[in-house]
Amino acid sequence: GQFSGTYNSTEKQLGTIQGTYAVEGDGIGTLILPDDKIFENALRVKEVKEYGQILNSQNYTISITTYRWYVENHRFPILVLISSNTAYENGKTHNSTQAAYNTKVMSKNATSIDITTISSELKLDAYPNPYKEQITFRFALEDASKINLSIFDINGRYLKTLYKGSADAGEKEFSFSGSEIGVGAGAYIVKLNVNGTVITKKILEL
């Protein structure tokens, strides 16, 4: 869209403003916030506003990009990131970044997933962690179960499924290497779903 307007005092016009804006939902995934809280299926909304203004005979060009993350059952965003750039007519620029997260959502444990476990019965071991070349995951099934063991990047983007399907009772072991799938060093999230019970763990490849 487009917008325009004027700056006015009680006696005269001080300046003008004219620009464009765009808003889109540009992604959905897993969001990690302080205190190791993970929110799944978080919708990211991107807003870009660019405008020029003349104020007190000075020209400015301003660009503001805002990201907001929303989750189910919450009207307001749980995280907001704002990046702004101002260019002055003398060639100088000013950049700033702001961030805020919703503490009310953070205090409600029912809406988030603890990064280590949400089940006292299901345990997921990952060793060594951090690791250099390969990490091994081990867990035990008390009964025959349907399982899904998958890897995501730190932004919640799906990378690889290590196993999906039925499995007999007993100890299970799987391995993963980021370099083998072309992603290399970095932080990842491993997610294990056993009959609807989910456990997640953060891992780090050096």
Query: What number of CA atoms fall less than 13 Å from residue 153's CA on the CB side?
Result: 13
3 state DSSP class of 179: helix
Q: What is the model's pTM? A: 0.52
Please state which of the ranges 93-97, 104-108, 152-156, 195-199 shows the lowest mean pLDDT. 104-108
Give the helix ranges, DSSP H, for the chain.
103-106
User: Which domains are assigned to the chain?
Assistant: 2-110 (no CATH), 116-205 (2.60.40.1930)
The per-residue pLDDT for 106 is 52
Angle in degrees, CA 204, 189, 186, rounded to 5: 35
- What's the CA gap between 83 and 163, in Å, rounded? 40
Please report, for residues 29, 58, 82, 116, 170, the alpha-carbon distance to residue 192 in angstroms, rounded to integers and kept in the order given.
16, 57, 34, 11, 15
- What's the CA gap between 23 and 115, in Å, rounded? 31
Task: Please tell me what DSSP assigns to residue 192.
Answer: E
pLDDT digits (tens, 9 = 90+) for 15-66: 899 999 999 998 888 887 766 677 888 899 999 999 998 877 788 899 999 9
3 state DSSP class of 104: helix
pLDDT digits (tens, 9 = 90+) for 168-180: 988 999 999 988 8
